[in-house]
Chains A and B, each alone.
Chain A
């Protein structure tokens, strides 16, 4: 296996560690030096050649190769067995409708949520339970970080240059979690999207806003009313380019899902109930239409731990949620 990347030579491991800062390739935290041996192990784990093309960044003419992605996965601290998930997340964000130029250069500082479904969650330990949004879980933290380092180093999205985020936010260090498929018995997201239960899938959603939905009332309509009211606080305007495919993600926590399941609600019926209320015309500055083409554009996943009665909205930038099957080597 031969590599095309330029090489940097350091006298010691410590020099290599500090040298990555000097090269301007970190997110501000230390990274694992991407030695050829480590990069090779990543690629081997996914059974993918270094020159394999994972996609192209629109507007920038950047061809993204597996070798560059593997370098950044090493730097992020990924284990080799995580690499197929990293590859799927990069392929997803490079789907044209995921609008990689827009979501990574925007003033709004959009993050990217990597949502993992299927058996790979258990095989590599992507966590979907208590504190699923992190920190604390190596697979979650490093897979999400790998995508962000790829966006920085491969997509050429350096803060102050092509990354124009006015504030940015901590979700852009890393944001990856699994759907907790087992705790509810609801249809998992990847099956809803047409994949087999035994498939593993990565779904990447750009995240411009993250809204907490805390509702302690026991009634399900109270929970769901608070849910849509919070989304309508700022609304979601139609984007002609993203069109009818644009989705929001609703992460339902166990205190809410437990009550909904007890009253016979399913993901599908929750979406059917929410959609007309989200999609109703704007009434005022803080009661705005969330423009979605259908109930299917509310992507519901279950995650989080017991305790507080809480769920979360992941509201996108000018992009469509994109999914890619995880292909293991």
Chain B
């Protein structure tokens, strides 16, 4: 006699394609939103990216929020501040298990709200953020990956954080424009 068992999982992934927000042609005149999770010294990198894009790409401004914990959504007031002012956005830093996946979710939530976004993660956490993207059907959602020898948890020197910003700024521009 056969034995029937019930599947104990909730499944994984979405069959519906996840629509990305339309990209501007350039960053000139755009306002960059930064949803930072405060991990390690990653804010230094985000500030340097923001400064570089203001200087070279003519951003109209930057709105940065730092979440109250590394792996939670922005507070409602922080989210409103980003939605009201930002026209493109970056999130991160994805350097730990829960914060990387939450930062990926922040980026996906921004896309759903019509704001082009990109999440900056460490290569050690790339499988996690890919899984988070699959959950909502955004399997091929691009991310910007920082690799070793830089440590995942953003315990960086100031010089290292600035160097990383210089490394990724072109990729940020590429991901946020068409």
Which residues in A have some Cβ–Cβ distance to B below 8 Å? 3, 5-13, 15-16, 19-20, 23, 25, 33-36, 39, 58-64, 67-68, 71-72, 75, 99, 101-108, 149, 153-154, 156, 160-165, 239-242, 318
Contacts and interface: CB of A to CB of B under 8 A. Distances in A.
Given A10-B4, A102-B69, A318-B71, 14 more contacts: A6-B7, A34-B8, A59-B101, A59-B132, A67-B6, A72-B8, A154-B10, A156-B9, A156-B12, A156-B131, A161-B128, A164-B96, A318-B70, A318-B98
Interface residues of B, number: 34
B72 A102 contact: yes
B7 A241 contact: no
Contacts of A6: 6-7
A101 B102 contact: yes
Nearest to A39: B6
Contacts of B6: 3, 5-8, 34-36, 39, 67, 71
B71 A10 contact: no
Nearest to A71: B8
Nearest to B13: A156
- By Cβ-Cβ distance, the 8 closest A-B pairs, closest first, are A164-B97, A241-B69, A102-B71, A71-B8, A240-B68, A105-B98, A241-B68, A5-B6
B68 A59 contact: no
Contacts of B4: 7-10, 35-36
A75 B5 CA distance: 10
A21 B152 CA distance: 32
A64 B136 CA distance: 17
Nearest to B105: A59
Interface string B62-74: 0000011111110
B135 A61 contact: yes
Contacts of B77: none
Contacts of B8: 5, 25, 34, 68, 71-72, 75, 149, 153-154
B58 interface: no
A242 B69 contact: yes
A23 B7 CA distance: 9
B81 to A, nearest CB: 16
Contacts of A104: 98
A106 B71 contact: yes
Nearest to A109: B97
Contacts of B136: 61
B70 A164 contact: no
A323 to B, nearest CB: 21
A153 B71 CA distance: 21
Contact of A105 (B2, B5, B97): B97
Given A36-B4, A156-B135, A162-B131, A25 B9 contact: yes
Contacts of B69: 99, 102, 239-242, 318
Contacts of A153: 8-10
Contacts of A164: 96-98, 100-101, 125, 128
